[in-house]
């Protein structure tokens, strides 16, 4: 219950979330669950390939990527939908899964007026999610952005990473939750990594609060959350 209340507060306080995990770990299910906490007065745009989300919300506009026809024409990519969604005045943008260069546009959306947006990413841990996101940005053919600039963009855009997995018993669950704490700089001043602050960790059959300091505690307190 404490973890759910924490995640509910994350949604209400408009934190930008990445739900990360491996194949069939329950990322989309968690995205559906968390999106149910978005207040009914807000406007949501979902972008997917293929469409899987079933958000229980009164104001959802659904965009779905489309492959090219037999003549190689008519394709509509997730990146195109993301760029179009920025002109549609949504309160939040929910991307079913970022698999490639569209993650750059998602980061920009999170960083330019759409707080509380969410997406999912394939990765092996919350830490690995940072590296996967950097690699996906570099997959863009038109991208000539240095790694340190990409890390700075991730740090300014993403607030919290929720890592989910399917354990050896087949149970799908949250394993750990982190917040992005600070950038790690090299001797020349360039950003070389992002420091994560472990908040929740599943161990010994339950979830335990691990952080000595929570940077976003004030924002969470404004929506009624307090550490038990």
Note the pLDDT of residue 149.
Answer: 95
pLDDT in tens, 87-136: 898 999 998 888 888 898 889 888 878 899 999 999 999 999 999 999 99
Note the pLDDT of residue 72.
Answer: 81
DSSP 76: B
Instruction: Report the C-alpha gap between 49 and 24 in whole angstroms.
Output: 16
Q: What are 22's two structure tokens?
A: 């491996």
- Mean of pLDDT over the chain: 92
Evaluated on CA atoms 145, 148, 149, 151, the torsion sign reads positive
- By the 8 A CB rule, do 101 and 38 touch? no
Note the pLDDT of residue 198.
Answer: 98
Cα atoms in the 13 Å half-sphere on the side-chain side of 66: 11
Local confidence band at 163 (pLDDT 50, 70, 90 cut-offs): very high
Nearest Cα neighbor of 25 from 197, 177, 128, 175 is: 175
**Distance, CA of 14 to chain centre:** 12
Note the pLDDT of residue 65.
Answer: 86
Judged by DSSP in three states, 3 sits in helix
Note the pLDDT of residue 81.
Answer: 85
Residue with tokens 């207040």, as numbered in its chain = 39
Instruction: Report the C-alpha gap between 132 and 130 in whole angstroms.
Output: 6
Local confidence band at 215 (pLDDT 50, 70, 90 cut-offs): very high
């Amino acid at each position: 219950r404490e973890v759910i209340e924490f995640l509910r507060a994350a949604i209400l306080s408009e934190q930008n979330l990445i739900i990360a995990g491996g194949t069939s770990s329950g990322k989309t299910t968690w995205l559906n669950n968390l999106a149910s906490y978005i207040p009914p007065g807000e406007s949501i745009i979902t972008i997917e390939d293929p469409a899987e989300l079933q958000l229980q919300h009164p104001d959802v506009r659904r965009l779905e990527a489309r492959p090219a026809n037999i003549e190689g024409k008519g394709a509509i990519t997730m990146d195109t939908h993301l760029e179009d969604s920025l002109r549609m005045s949504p309160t939040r943008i929910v991307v079913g899964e970022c698999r490639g260069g569209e993650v750059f546009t998602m980061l920009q959306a999170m960083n330019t007026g759409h707080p509380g947006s969410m997406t999912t990413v394939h990765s092996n841990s919350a830490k690995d999610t940072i590296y996967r996101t950097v690699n996906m940005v570099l997959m863009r053919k038109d991208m000539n952005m240095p790694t340190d600039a990409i890390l700075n963009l991730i740090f300014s855009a993403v607030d919290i990473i929720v890592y989910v997995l399917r354990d050896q018993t087949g149970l799908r669950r949250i394993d750990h939750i982190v917040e992005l704490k600070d950038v790690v700089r090299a001797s020349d001043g360039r950003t070389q990594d992002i420091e994560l602050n472990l908040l929740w960790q599943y161990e010994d059959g339950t979830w335990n609060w691990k952080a000595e300091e929570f940077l976003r505690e004030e924002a969470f307190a404004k929506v009624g959350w307090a550490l038990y």
